[in-house]
Amino acid sequence: MGIIVHFYTPNQCLDSLSFLPFAKFWRLSHAETRHFWAALVRSQSPKPCSWRQGLLFYQAGGPWSGSSEHLIDTISTPQVVITVLEALVNEQRLGPREARAIEAKILERVDRNGGWRG
């Protein structure tokens, strides 16, 4: 049995992607969500690629996808997401002004212990 690899364009599967619940939780606008996803899809930097792959594996299901708790508490910690944003800016996939606005919204959802607010 082989592994099927899907290549996504920036607007593909945005509605069903495991990224969308995060964008809603962070209260990103539609434009911020699209721009963040487009930057993530186009990125070739290791951290964004790794995080994107984790999201896509989770979305695909199967034994390698892990639980939603694993996705949230291990793959997508606030520290990981902020590091991904910084990498996207450094790679010039996302503008600094928009990244700061997204970061501010993300940080509003982080508790004082550095985890996601319930």
Count of positions (residues) in the chain: 118
In sequence order, what are the residues at sequence separation of 6 or more whose Cβ sits closer than 8 angstroms to the Cβ of residue 84? 40, 47, 48, 51
**Which residue in this structure is represented by tokens 């940080």?**
107
Residue 12 domain-assigned? no
DSSP 4: P
Residue 14 domain-assigned? no
pLDDT at position 14: 54
Number of domains in the chain: 1
Residue 94 domain-assigned? yes
Max intra-chain CA distance, the chain: 45
pLDDT at position 35: 94
Residue 90 domain-assigned? yes
Residue 92 domain-assigned? yes
Residue 80 domain-assigned? yes
Tell whether the model's pLDDT for residue 116 goes beyond 60: yes
Can you give the residue range of the structural domain that contains 23? 19-107
Residue 116 β-bridge partners: 110
Residue 45 domain-assigned? yes
pLDDT digits (tens, 9 = 90+) for 62-108: 665 667 787 788 889 999 999 999 999 999 999 999 999 999 999 99
Residue 42 domain-assigned? yes
